[in-house]
Amino acid sequence: MIKINVDMNKCQHYGMCVFEAPKVFKLNDEDKLEYLATAEDSELGNVEAAIDVCPMQAIFIVD
């Protein structure tokens, strides 16, 4: 399992991560980011892509 953290103080809810890893990240009805704190290992590439495209660099994989 992958452990994921988003620094919500940095996150500006652009939603770029949603396009890269829609099984992990989503924007709610208020356009605020929601995410799974853990994801299947098969999502690693998508989560890494979401980290790369985040303009605020607010997403981290936790060891």
Secondary structure of residue 2 in the 3-state scheme: strand
CATH of the domain at 54: 3.30.70.20
Record the tokens describing residue 61, joined without a space: 């994989």
- Global pTM reads 0.93
Q: What pLDDT is stored for residue 21 in this prediction?
A: 98
Task: List the beta strands (DSSP E) in the chain.
Answer: 2-6, 25-27, 33-35, 38-39, 59-62
Tokens at residue 3, please? Answer: 């452990």
Residue ranges making up the domain that contains 53: 2-62
Give me the pLDDT at residue 63, please: 87
Tens-place pLDDT, residues 15-63: 999 999 999 999 999 999 999 999 999 999 999 999 999 999 999 999 8
Domain count, the chain: 1
| Mean pLDDT of the 2-10 span | 98
Closest CA to 35 of 52, 56, 54, 59: 59
